[in-house]
C-alpha cells in the first residue's frame, strides 16, 4: 500500500503495535514495520523536540492554512483523524 509508511500498524483490537516503514513492491501485501515497544522510549523525546522546533500538529497546520485561505476546512477534515 504505497503511502502507508509512517502510519500505525494496528492489531484486531485497534491497538497500535508498530509503525509501518516500507512496503515491498510487487509483493502481495508484504510490508515492514518497527515494533512499538522499541519506539516508545523515543516518542516523547521526538515530540518534545518537534514542539521546541516550532512544529505543529496536522490539525493546527491545517487550521492555519484555512485562515490563510490556502485550504478549505473540508480538505483539513479529510486528512485529520480524531
Total length of the chain: 82
Q: Is-contact 26 19, C-beta < 8 A?
A: no
- At 11 the pLDDT is 92
- CA 1 to chain centroid, in Å, comes to 15
Whether this prediction's pTM lies above 0.85 is answered by no
CA nearest to 20, candidates 11, 2, 32, 30: 32
Separation CA 66–CA 70 (nearest Å): 6
- At 49 the pLDDT is 84
- At 78 the pLDDT is 72
- At 27 the pLDDT is 73
Amino acid at each position: 500500500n504505497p503511502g502507508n509508511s509512517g502510519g500505525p500498524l494496528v492489531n484486531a483490537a485497534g491497538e497500535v503495535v508498530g509503525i509501518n516503514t516500507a512496503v515491498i513492491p510487487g509483493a502481495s501485501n508484504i510490508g515492514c514495520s518497527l515494533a512499538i515497544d522499541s519506539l516508545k522510549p523515543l516518542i516523547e523525546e521526538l515530540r518534545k523536540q518537534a514542539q521546541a522546533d516550532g512544529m505543529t500538529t496536522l490539525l493546527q497546520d491545517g487550521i492555519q492554512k484555512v485562515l490563510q485561505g490556502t485550504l478549505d476546512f473540508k480538505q483539513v477534515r479529510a486528512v485529520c483523524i480524531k
